[in-house]
Structure 1
Amino acid sequence: MQLESLSNEVFHDLFEFLDPIQLIHAFEGLNTRFDQLLFIYFRSYRLDFRSISKLNFHLMCEQYLPLIIDHISSLCLSDDDETPQLSEHLIPYNLTLDEFTHLKSLLLQKIHSSDIILNIITDCSYLSYLTHLKIIECHYTHDKNSKQLISNIWRLIKLTHCTLDIIFEYGLTFVGLSIISTSIKYLSIKNFIFSSIELNHLLKSTPYLQYLCITFFGESTNIELHRINSVPLITNLKLHFNGSLNSLINILQSMPNLLYLTIETGTINLNGNQWKKILIDYIPKIKIFRFLMKILLFKHYNIEEQLEDFLNTFQTSFWLDEHQWFVRLDWPKHANKVFVIYTLPYCFNDTYVIYQNRWSRTTCPNVHDYNSYDRVTNVFYKGHIDNLIVFPVYYPNIRRLTLRLPFDNRFWSIIPTLDRLISLEVIETRENSRSESQLKDLLNRAPRLDFLSVDAMSFLLLAQSNITHDSLRRIQLKHYRTKTNRYMNVTQCSILADSLLGRQCEVLIIRIENRTIILDLINKMYNLRVLNCECQDDNWTNNSLLCSKDELVEWLRNSLPETYFISRYRSRLVRLWINRKIK
C-alpha cells in the first residue's frame, strides 16, 4: 500500500533503472493502474537482448512486445554465444524493425549474416526517430552489397551518431558513394583503413561532421598526396595514424577549426618543438591535444641521454605554462629499440599492457600527478614488476583483466581494486599452491565478476573447495595445463555440475569427451541457459558441409526438447540455447 502511494512520475523514474522483462514480470496484471503505467504511460523502454534466456525471449516476443513495441526507445540485438542467431528468431513472431516506430537507438553486435544486417538497416529507413546506430563486432561477407549497406545508413534522415565496427570480407570503398548525409555529426569507423582518397570521399559524403574517429594508413613520402577538401565543422578528431608527416599535415589542413585532437601513432617521430609548429600552423584553435607515440630510438648508444633530450622539448613554456600539457616517456624493458611517449592524463581505453620499464620520466611538476589511469578498462598484466623503481601508477577502474598465474608482488599496488571487474581471463597457470591461492583471492576481491575464463583443472580445484561467488554466471574452461587430455570426462563434469559455481552457471563453454555428458550437464546445472561445447566424439569435418545433415546436431535435436535451439558454429563448436524456466 505504501508503494502505491507514490506518484506516477516517481514510478516512471524508478522504471528507468529496471530491466523491462523483470519490470513486466513484477507488475503486469497487479492492478489497472500498474497496467496503464506499463503499457500506456511509460514510453521509454530500453530492450537489451544480448544476454536474455530463450524462455524470456519467447515471453517477450509473444506476450509483451506487441503491447510495448511503440514505447521502445533503445534496442540491442546480438548473435553472440549467449543468444545464438537471435535476430533470426524474431521472424517467427512476425516482428520487423520498422514496427519499433519510436526507436531512437539501435545496437547490432556480433551478427555475421550480411543479409540480416542489410535487411535490418533497410527497415531502419521507416524509423522517424532513429538518431543513434552502432554496428559492432560484425562480419559482412557479401561481395556486392557493402556499398549498399553504407548508402542505406547514409540515407537515414535523423541519424546523428554512427559507430561502424564491421569486417568487410570483400572490402569496402567510399569512393563513388553518391549519397550525402545531412544528419550524421558523430562518426566512428573501425576495421577500415583510410587513405587520403578514401577520407576525402568520406568527408564529402558527410559534410556536417563534428566528430570523427578513424584509422589512417597514409601514402609514403614519395607519392603525391590527394588533397583533402576543407571540413570546417569538425572540431573533434580521434586518429589511429600510420602514415607520413605529409599525410598528417594534409589531414590537419582540412580541419582548421579543430578544438580536440587525439592521435595514436607509430610512424611519425615528432618532438615537442615540431608538434608546436604543426599545431600553431595548421590547427591554431586547438584546446585539448592528446597523443601516444611509439618511437624508434635514433642511436643505440647514450640512450638515456637521448631520452632526456627528447623529453626536454616538451618542457618549454608552450607545453607547461600556456597549455599545461604534460607528457610521460617510458622505455619498456622488453623493447630495446622503442620508447613510448604519451600525454597525461592517459586517455586511451583500449587494452593496456602493463610491462616493466627500465627508464621512465614525466614533465609533471609533481611526479605523483596523473598516476591514476582512470580510463583504462582492459588490462593485460604481463609481470614481473618486482624491484622496479618507477613512478607509482595504478589502474582503479579496470573491467577486463587478462593475466598469468602466479603474479608478482607488485600486482596489488598497481591494480589496487577489482570492484568494477566483470571479466577475468587466466591464460597460463603454474601448478602450485600460490596460483590456486591467488585465483581464489581474485574472485573474492571482484564482487561484480560475471565471466571467468580459466584452465579446467584450475577450475575443478576451485569447485572442490566449495568456493562461492554471487555474480559469476559465465564460465569458459580451457585446457592449457595438459597436452594430452584436452577434453573433460564424465567424472570431471560431474564435479563441475555438482559444485556451487556450477549450479549457478548460466553460460558454459567447455570441451567434453562424450556427447551424453551434454544431457547430464543440462539436467544437473538447472540455471544453465547457454551451452557451447566441443565433443571429442563429434564426427564433423570440413566435408560435412557437403552433407545435408549434421550427425551430432541431429542427435542433440532428437535427444532434447524441440524448444531448444541447437546449431553448429565455427566448425567443431556446437551451441545450445536452452529453453526452460530458471529456478
Structure 2
Amino acid sequence: MNSKSITKLEDLPDELLLLICRYLNIIEILNGFSCLNARLSKTISEFSIKIDLNIIPLKLINRFLNEILPNISYNVRSLIYSDNFERFPIKLDMFNNLESIHFLNKFSEDFLINTKEIKIDSVPVDIQIDLIKNFFSSNQYKNLKSLELLSYHGFTFSNIQLNKLIQIENLKITLKNNVDLFELLYLLSYSIEQLNIHILYNGPFKSLTKFSSPLKLTKLRYFHLKTTFEDSIQFKQLEKLIIDSFDFIQYLSIETLTRDQNYIDGLQWENFLKKLNYLKNFSFSIRYRFKINENDDQQIRENYLLNSFSTDFWLYQRKWFILFYSTYSNINQNDSTCFIKRKNYEKLFLHTIPYPYAFMDATIDINKTKSTIDQYSTRDIYSNVRHLYYDGESIPIKLECLKNLLDKFQLINELKLDRLIIDYSSLLSNKINLRHLNKLTIYNTDEKISINMNLFNLSSMYNLRYIRIPQICLSDNLQMPKQLETLILTECRDINFDFIYKCENLRILKLFLNNFDRLLENNGELIINIINTIYNNNNNIMETLQLMCHGVNQTKMKIFEKQFNLNNIKYLNAIYDGKSLTIQRSNLYFDQSS
C-alpha cells in the first residue's frame, strides 16, 4: 500500500517561502511566520529590519506587543512610529539595536535613546520652531548623524539662536526660502557630507551680511537641490554658489521649475561642470516654462537643445545622456474641430536618463520624447520612479496610448491621475497591470466624465492596499483587490454603501459626502444608518470611518458627536475636529472578540 507524502509548511525550501512573501505585506509576513520556529524566524529576518507600526491592524496590536515584537526586537533597526502614541504603547528599550526612528507627524523626545537617525515626514506648523530649537540649538543629540525634517510649509531659521553642528553628516529638509538656505549652510559647514534641500518659496538669493567669512563646506560630497517656486534660483546664482563653496562635491543633483533658458542649455552646463574637479555624477530634472511667440520656430529651439547636450563632453567624456519633451504642439487655430484652447505659455521637460528621482510629474506629452541616446529601453529610463503624478491636462488620450505610457513605470508604488479624459473609441489589448502598485489616486474635475476602473487589472495588483477615487468611478462589477485596506471615495452623491461587504479586509474608509447638513436632520438618522451599514458589513475588520464635512453646521455636529458617544454603540467613538467626523472602533472591541 502506497502512502502519500504530506508536505508541511516547514518542509518548503527557503526560496519558495520568500516567493510567498512577495504576495504579502510585512505585517502579514511577521504575523504568519514569526514565533513558529528558529528556521522560519531566520528566513524572514530581512522583513523585521524596518517596522511600520501604523499599518498594524487594531486586532493584531496585542499580539505584536506581547509576542512578535519581543521575538524580533534584536533584529529591528528602524521603526516608523504611530502618531497615536496611546494606540501603540510600545517600550523602545527592548530594541537594543535600534538606529532609526521615523515619525509621520508628531515627535516625542521620549523615544530618542541613542538614535543615529530621526525622520519626520509631515511636520505640523505648530511644532516647527520647537523642533528647530531641539535639533539646531542644543547639544543633547550627540549620536545623531542623519536627520530628515519634511514640511508642507517649510522650515525657517529666522530669529532663532543656532549652534554650529559638528555631528550631523546627512540632512534632508524642506526650507521656506533662499534666506534659510544660507542660514543652514553656514550652520552645517563643518560637518555635513550629504545635503538634500527642497526650497518651497522665493526669496533673495544671497549670503546674509551677518556672515563675514566665506562659505565653505569642505566635507560636502553629495548635494541635491529642489526648488518648487518658479525662478527661485537663477542658473548663474546656482553656478556661483557651488563653485565658490562646494570645492569637493562629487554628486550633484538639481530639480527646478524655471524660465531661465540657461537651465536647458547643454553648453552652459558643460562650462559650469568642467570647473568641478571632483564631480563624478550629475543628474537633473528641469521644467522650463516659455512664452509662446508665433514668430519663434519651436523645432529650431528643440534642435539647439538636443545638439547642446550632444557634445563630446556629454556623450563620450562623461557619458551623461538626456531626454526631453515639450507640451507645445502646432495646432491650427482656424481648425473648427480643435478643442484645445491655445495657451500663452508652454512647458519643456528635460531630465538626465535614467530618470534619477523617485517622484515624477508627467503630462500627456510624455509619449513624445527626444533623447541623446537610443540604447535605453523605456523601462530602463524610469526604473527609479516610485511615485508618479500624471496630469492628462484634460486632453483626450486613447486607451492603448495610456497603457503604453503606464507600462513605462512598472516599478511604481504610487500612481496619481489628474485631469484625465480617456478616449474609449478604441479597444484595449490587455488591462493595465502595475504589480508593485500600493496606492492609486484618481482626481476628477468634471462630474460628467468618469474613468472606467475596469481598465485596471486590480485583482492582480497584489500590493494595492490604498485607493482614492470619485464615487462615480465605482461600477457594480468592479473587482476590488482582496487585500484593500484603505478606500477613499470623493464626490459622494449616493449614500448607499452596501457594497462595502465585498472589501473584506477594509480597515479605513473615508467619504467626502455632499449636503452633510441634510444628513444631520432627524437627529442624524441618515448618518447613523451609514455607520451601521458599514460596520455591520465589516464586522471583524473595520477600524475607522471618516466622514469629511467641510462647512457643516458646527453646533449640530457637536450635538451629534455628544449624543453618539452617550449611546456607546458597538465599541464605537465619534470625534469631530471641525473638518471631519471620525468614527473609531476602540481596542476593547478586538479584545473581547478574541
Per the shorter chain, which TM-score range? 0.7 to 0.9
Aligned counterparts of 1:274 and 1:415: Cα–Cα separation in 2: 44
> Aligned residue for 1:276?
270
Compute the TM-score of the two structures, normalised by the length of structure 1: 0.75
Q: Please state if 1:516 is matched with 2:528.
A: yes
Structure 1 contact 48–76 (Cα < 8 Å) conserved: yes
Instruction: Tell me the secondary structure at the aligned position of residue 261 of structure 1.
Output: strand
**CA 470–37 in structure 1, closer or farther in 2 if over 3 Å, else same:** closer
> Aligned residue for 2:116?
131
Instruction: Tell me the secondary structure at the aligned position of residue 243 of structure 1.
Output: coil
Q: Which one of 329, 351, 364 corresponds to residue 342 of structure 1?
A: 351
Structure 1 contact 175–198 (Cα < 8 Å) conserved: no
> Aligned residue for 2:170?
186
> Aligned residue for 1:504?
505
**CA 21–442 in structure 1, closer or farther in 2 if over 3 Å, else same:** closer
Once the two structures are TM-superposed, the CA of residue 425 in structure 1 deviates from its matched residue by 2.0
Aligned counterparts of 2:143 and 2:189: Cα–Cα separation in 1: 13
Aligned counterparts of 2:470 and 2:563: Cα–Cα separation in 1: 29
Deviations 1:243-275 (A, max 9, x none): 133431223421111111110123443211211
Instruction: Tell me the secondary structure at the aligned position of residue 61 of structure 2.
Output: helix
Aligned counterparts of 2:427 and 2:163: Cα–Cα separation in 1: 54
Instruction: Tell me the secondary structure at the aligned position of residue 122 of structure 2.
Output: strand
**CA 387–511 in structure 1, closer or farther in 2 if over 3 Å, else same:** closer
Once the two structures are TM-superposed, the CA of residue 554 in structure 1 deviates from its matched residue by 2.9
Aligned counterparts of 2:25 and 2:302: Cα–Cα separation in 1: 53
Instruction: Tell me the secondary structure at the aligned position of residue 88 of structure 1.
Output: coil
Deviations 1:365-411 (A, max 9, x none): 5586777422222232515345999xx86222222223366624799
What letter matches 1:397 in structure 2?
L
Instruction: Tell me the secondary structure at the aligned position of residue 504 of structure 1.
Output: coil
> Aligned residue for 2:390?
380
Instruction: Tell me the secondary structure at the aligned position of residue 420 of structure 1.
Output: coil
Q: Which one of 172, 182, 195 corresponds to residue 178 of structure 2?
A: 195
For structure 1, which segment, 419-428 or 294-303, has the greater mean C-alpha deviation from structure 2 after superposition?
Answer: 294-303
Instruction: Tell me the secondary structure at the aligned position of residue 145 of structure 1.
Output: helix
**CA 306–359 in structure 1, closer or farther in 2 if over 3 Å, else same:** farther
Q: How does 1:170-569 map to 2 (within 5 A)?
A: 171-173=156-158, 176-182=161-167, 184-190=168-174, 192-195=175-178, 198-205=181-188, 207-216=190-199, 220=204, 229-241=215-227, 242-248=232-238, 249-267=240-258, 268-270=260-262, 271-281=265-275, 283-297=276-290, 300=293, 301-333=296-328, 336-356=345-365, 360-364=369-373, 366=375, 372-377=381-386, 378-382=388-392, 384-385=396-397, 394-403=408-417, 407-408=422-423, 417-428=433-444, 437-439=452-454, 441-444=456-459, 446-459=461-474, 461-462=475-476, 465=477, 467-479=479-491, 486=492, 488-489=494-495, 492-493=496-497, 495-498=498-501, 500-501=502-503, 503-511=504-512, 513=519, 514-517=526-529, 518-534=531-547, 541=554, 550-560=558-568, 564=572, 566-569=574-577
Name structure 1 gaps, 5 residues minimum.
80-85, 112-116, 480-485
Instruction: Tell me the secondary structure at the aligned position of residue 575 of structure 2.
Output: strand
> Aligned residue for 1:483?
none
Once the two structures are TM-superposed, the CA of residue 527 in structure 1 deviates from its matched residue by 4.1
Aligned counterparts of 1:272 and 1:302: Cα–Cα separation in 2: 19
For structure 1, which segment, 216-225 or 147-156, has the greater mean C-alpha deviation from structure 2 after superposition?
Answer: 216-225
Deviations 1:466-504 (A, max 9, x none): 73532222211122xxxxxx4543xx12x2244x23x33
> Aligned residue for 1:82?
none
Aligned counterparts of 2:290 and 2:144: Cα–Cα separation in 1: 45
CA RMSD of aligned residues (A): 4.7
Deviations 1:322-367 (A, max 9, x none): 1111122322137744322222222232242232269743222558
Aligned counterparts of 2:506 and 2:184: Cα–Cα separation in 1: 49
Aligned counterparts of 1:272 and 1:537: Cα–Cα separation in 2: 49
For structure 1, which segment, 376-385 or 49-58, has the greater mean C-alpha deviation from structure 2 after superposition?
Answer: 376-385
For this pair of structures, how many residues does the alignment match? Answer: 533
Once the two structures are TM-superposed, the CA of residue 508 in structure 1 deviates from its matched residue by 1.0
> Aligned residue for 2:334?
none
**CA 400–415 in structure 1, closer or farther in 2 if over 3 Å, else same:** farther
Once the two structures are TM-superposed, the CA of residue 141 in structure 1 deviates from its matched residue by 0.5
Aligned counterparts of 2:196 and 2:187: Cα–Cα separation in 1: 16
Structure 1 contact 487–536 (Cα < 8 Å) conserved: no
Deviations 1:152-191 (A, max 9, x none): 7864233222211135689544963115242x2221112x
Aligned counterparts of 2:93 and 2:281: Cα–Cα separation in 1: 41
Aligned counterparts of 1:37 and 1:417: Cα–Cα separation in 2: 33
Once the two structures are TM-superposed, the CA of residue 214 in structure 1 deviates from its matched residue by 0.2
> Aligned residue for 1:114?
none
> Aligned residue for 2:339?
none
Aligned counterparts of 1:368 and 1:65: Cα–Cα separation in 2: 43
What letter matches 1:419 in structure 2?
R
**CA 369–320 in structure 1, closer or farther in 2 if over 3 Å, else same:** farther
**CA 337–451 in structure 1, closer or farther in 2 if over 3 Å, else same:** closer
Once the two structures are TM-superposed, the CA of residue 4 in structure 1 deviates from its matched residue by 7.4
Aligned counterparts of 1:62 and 1:102: Cα–Cα separation in 2: 19
Q: Which one of 135, 156, 179 corresponds to residue 150 of structure 1?
A: 135
Q: How does 1:84-163 map to 2 (within 5 A)?
A: 86-90=84-88, 97=92, 100-111=95-106, 117=107, 120-121=108-109, 123-124=111-112, 126-127=113-114, 130-142=115-127, 145-151=130-136, 155-163=140-148
Aligned counterparts of 1:385 and 1:408: Cα–Cα separation in 2: 5
Name structure 2 gaps, 5 residues minimum.
1-6, 329-342, 514-518, 520-525
> Aligned residue for 1:54?
58
Deviations 1:410-435 (A, max 9, x none): 99799964111122222239889x96
Structure 1 contact 237–260 (Cα < 8 Å) conserved: yes
What letter matches 2:169 in structure 1?
K
What letter matches 2:389 in structure 1?
V
Aligned counterparts of 1:471 and 1:105: Cα–Cα separation in 2: 29
**CA 55–172 in structure 1, closer or farther in 2 if over 3 Å, else same:** farther
Aligned counterparts of 2:251 and 2:321: Cα–Cα separation in 1: 16
Once the two structures are TM-superposed, the CA of residue 456 in structure 1 deviates from its matched residue by 2.4
For structure 1, which segment, 263-272 or 233-242, has the greater mean C-alpha deviation from structure 2 after superposition?
Answer: 263-272
> Aligned residue for 2:332?
none
For structure 1, which segment, 17-26 or 422-431, has the greater mean C-alpha deviation from structure 2 after superposition?
Answer: 17-26
Structure 1 contact 53–529 (Cα < 8 Å) conserved: no
Deviations 1:46-95 (A, max 9, x none): 4321122223224444676677767643221133xxxxxx22335xx5x5
Structure 1 contact 540–551 (Cα < 8 Å) conserved: no
Once the two structures are TM-superposed, the CA of residue 213 in structure 1 deviates from its matched residue by 0.6
Once the two structures are TM-superposed, the CA of residue 97 in structure 1 deviates from its matched residue by 4.7
Instruction: Tell me the secondary structure at the aligned position of residue 229 of structure 1.
Output: coil
What letter matches 2:499 in structure 1?
L
**CA 414–274 in structure 1, closer or farther in 2 if over 3 Å, else same:** farther
Once the two structures are TM-superposed, the CA of residue 201 in structure 1 deviates from its matched residue by 3.9
Structure 2 contact 292–344 (Cα < 8 Å) conserved: no
**CA 477–15 in structure 1, closer or farther in 2 if over 3 Å, else same:** closer
Compute the TM-score of the two structures, normalised by the length of structure 2: 0.74
Structure 2 contact 379–410 (Cα < 8 Å) conserved: no
